[in-house]
Chain A
């Protein structure tokens, strides 16, 4: 199993590598096109800002590489948002794999903090990515933008309103939460992705 984590100018990439090591998987962190294309599974993680990340990916031709991958790909957090069509974050055209738009959380409710930071539930779970995961399990989130619900939603979370906490289309998967930081639930989801 050749597991590749895409290296780009976003944070939190090492954490994913370490999480895979915890479940006994080795991965390579690289931005080499050939290495990414020839991997069995590709993980596209990241914490950061959408427009800066998209420019970086485009400059290095990684946008085209990611869009055309045929093997299972898992986007995490910013990675998932970049796989959507468009992000309100600095008016950014993204990769366009998922049609769901990415929007900023807005609320007039007092006491609701944005970004959302912490543990929230995931429900209406679909696909093998969530094999063995109970409805309303807790996952760890850190984000101010969210992907709206849509036909590719495979997990839902409520924060201000229901939104997509995971997406799936063909070989592409994305989670808004951080499986690498979501305790046993997250480790199971990473194992499920590796077993896809």
Chain B
């Protein structure tokens, strides 16, 4: 053992070789990708399977599929879609949107999802996080939090896709959910989402330093420098973005090359 350590001694920063992850997010409605997608090199920009496969081939580290389908009866479309995705995509993917029970999750995992994300339902019934972690393991339970910094300077939890304010602080809910078994936090800053002015560095760094689980930063990524910031100053483990990838404002290979040049460990 001593010899092995000596041999590897030259390799600096052991433990820091785990890469920072780049995660494109696809919004799905009735089985199709929504939000504009602008690609010349794929045939059907609305097909989530084709778009996901394209990102995987470009070097995305994971994918998130967020179902925004309103009606319950159309949920079956989602499990069929997840099945199709898992037959075509060779990287891990998370499925979220309207998940409220152990049964919902069981169906999605059986169809090949690697992780699921819960948001409003978990906040309303925190036992859900514990139940999911117990049944399927923390590694597949992602807690999504939509948060907004108010005039008092505090970050509060919002529900129902950002429409409903709560009086709970983001930090308190994140801590509680991780204690209950959430294995990862997907943190979206509503103040930053859609602005392309950069990620919410302070709250991301605060959660990433506080929690023993990875934090995925979401909302505000507009330039490659923003990704450098969120991984260094923001201490994020992963960064998620949607339209900048969909509209080819930033290509994943060039983003990874840029991060690599800035000394950030990424998979290339």
Contact = CB atoms under 8 A, between A and B. Distances in A.
B100 to A, nearest CB: 20
A186 B267 CA distance: 14
B87 A21 contact: yes
B253 interface: no
A158 B15 contact: yes
Interface in B191-219: 208-209, 212-214
A126 interface: no
Interface stretch (A58-66, A67-75, A114-122): A114-122
Contact of A112 (B15, B61, B88): B15
B111 A14 contact: yes
Interface of A: 11-12, 14-15, 18-19, 21-22, 47-49, 107, 109-121, 138, 140-142, 149, 157-162, 178, 180-184, 186-187
Nearest to A143: B139
B1 interface: yes
Nearest to B61: A119
Interface residues of B, number: 41
B91 A118 contact: no
Contacts of A110: 209
**Can you list the 6 inter-chain pairs with the closest CB atoms, starting with the nearest?**
A138-B267, A119-B267, A160-B15, A119-B19, A18-B86, A142-B139
Contacts of A160: 14-15
Contacts of B17: 120-121, 157-159
B183 A117 contact: yes
Contacts of A47: 137, 139-140
A111 B204 CA distance: 13
